[in-house]
């Protein structure tokens, strides 16, 4: 892999925009086209797909951890920054691969899974990481990729086991913990946003445009997280969490679904 300007899907915004446009067409037209067809099982394909993403996520998590650990010795290992950039490209490319999650939902006629949040997540991750690899591969960006890869090791392991059939259900008792892990991971962007803005304002001249954009992201984040966690709180409390543990869960969700003004007050402190 050569210079980042020539990397696949990164050299220009047009290829990734074309990919996402095709994705939106599939989301819009796929369920209508599948009305005449029976749901596809795709058992073997789903198992291979999920296990491949487990392996890719584990590789990216390992590489990011190792390279971050040795980054304190970059003079002794001058190739580390290039390797970190390459791993960030693989993370971006994994977001392209993961668009197939939606395609498989549609082919299996599980369109209830294709929610606004599902499409929003895939779209924002795709374009955010395209920009990250194009302009600032490595640096603080690695942390989000590392956490996301860690979560995806368990998430796609669960999906891979579940795709093997009902006989695997007894081995999937840890579903509740996976759900909590996913919800905690949902906040990683917000935490990184605050820490990034704090670093920016402390080390570089103040940029009003960056601050304004940060407030827009906080507004969007808080509104989406409130709706998301309201849904997941009900699901966890009624389906997954034992009665004796529900009070602690309510306290946890009271914190993570704070109103927008409180998020903005935290933002103002960081900025």
Question: Which residues participate in catalysis according to the annotation?
Answer: 121
* Surface-to-core class of residue 12, CB atoms within 10 Å of its CB (0-12 exposed, 13-18 middle, 19+ buried): exposed
Closest-CA residue to 140 (of 185, 86, 192, 74): 192
Cβ proximity of 98 and 122 under 8 Å: yes
Cβ proximity of 192 and 144 under 8 Å: yes
Residues 146, 220, 106, 28, CA torsion sign: negative
Q: Using alpha carbons, list the distances in angstroms from residue 170 to 35, 124, 160, 178.
A: 33, 35, 14, 15
Return the ∠ at Cα 51 (arms to 22 and 60), rounded to 5°: 80
Look-up of token digits 């509740």: 176
Length of the chain (residues): 271
């Amino acid at each position: 892999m050569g210079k980042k300007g020539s990397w696949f899907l990164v050299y220009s915004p047009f290829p990734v925009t074309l990919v996402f446009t095709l994705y939106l067409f599939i989301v819009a037209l796929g369920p209508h086209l599948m009305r005449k067809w029976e749901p596809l099982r795709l058992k073997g394909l789903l198992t291979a797909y999920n296990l491949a993403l487990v392996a890719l996520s584990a590789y990216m998590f390992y590489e990011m951890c190792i390279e971050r650990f040795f980054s304190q010795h970059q003079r002794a290992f001058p190739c580390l920054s290039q390797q970190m950039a390459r791993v960030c490209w693989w993370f971006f490319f994994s977001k392209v691969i993961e668009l197939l999650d939606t395609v498989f939902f549609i082919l299996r006629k599980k369109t209830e899974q294709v929610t606004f949040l599902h499409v929003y997540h895939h779209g924002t991750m795709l374009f955010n990481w395209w920009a990250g690899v194009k302009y600032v591969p490595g640096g603080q960006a690695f942390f989000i990729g590392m956490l996301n890869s860690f979560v995806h090791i368990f998430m796609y392991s669960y999906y891979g086991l579940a795709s093997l059939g009902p006989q695997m259900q007894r081995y999937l008792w840890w579903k509740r913990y996976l759900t909590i892990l996913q919800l905690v991971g949902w906040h990683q962007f917000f935490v990184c946003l605050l820490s990034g803005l704090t670093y920016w304002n402390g080390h570089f001249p103040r940029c009003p445009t960056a601050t304004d954009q940060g407030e827009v992201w906080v507004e969007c984040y808080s509104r989406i997280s409130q709706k998301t966690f309201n849904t997941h709180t009900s699901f966890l409390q009624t389906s997954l969490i034992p009665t004796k543990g529900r009070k602690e869960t309510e306290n946890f969700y009271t914190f993570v679904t704070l109103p927008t003004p409180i998020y903005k007050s935290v933002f103002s402190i960081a900025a």
